[in-house]
Amino acid sequence: SSELTQDPAVSVALGQTVRITCQGDSLRGYYASWYQQKPGQAPVLVIYGKTNRPSGIPDRFSASSSGNTASLTITGAQAEDEADYYCYSRDSSDNHYVFGTGTKVTVL
């Protein structure tokens, strides 16, 4: 099975921009989706497909991808964006799925 690797932690000053990356071979064929998870809560979808946001997700969240790397960008980070973020995609072996290792975002 393949893996999706994320940086364990990043920090960003309030109002500044932060990019979270997700690397893995399976991303060469599929878009990653991204999930925000706050302590004690279920994950919430923030991005799917190329850069689609579900209803209610602020437009400061965007995504991009290149080769085996997917990225989630928060432009103008807010205090409420402090959370763990996970990418997700298909595994390189079909019909299996994999989450990234997760990135803790701290807003300073």
Partner 1 sequence: QVQLVESGGGVVQPGRSLRLSCAASGITFSTFSIHWVRQAPGKGLEWVAVISYDGSNTYYADSVKGRFTISRDNSKNTLYLQMNSLRVEDTAVYYCARHRRYCTGGGSCSPYFDYWGQGTLVTVSS
Residue 98 in tokens: 């994999």
Q: Which of residues 5-64 bind partner 1 (CB under 8 A)?
A: 29-33, 35, 37, 42-45, 48-50, 52, 54
Residue 5 or 76: the one with the smaller Cβ distance to partner 1 is 5
Please enumerate in sequence order all residues whose Cβ is within 8 A of that of 78, keeping only pairs 6 or more positions apart, or say none.
14, 15, 60, 107
Q: Which is nearer to partner 1, 17 or 28 (CB)?
A: 28
CB of 75 or CB of 101, closer to partner 1:
101
Taking the C-alpha atoms of residue 10 and residue 65, their distance in angstroms, rounded to an integer, is 19
Least gap, CB of 13 to partner 1 (angstroms): 26
Task: Give, in order, the Cα–Cα distances in Å from 72 to each of 6, 16, 43, 89, 96.
Answer: 11, 14, 15, 14, 23
> Would you tell me which residues interact with partner 1 (CB under 8 A)?
1, 29-33, 35, 37, 42-45, 48-50, 52, 54, 84, 86, 88-90, 95-102
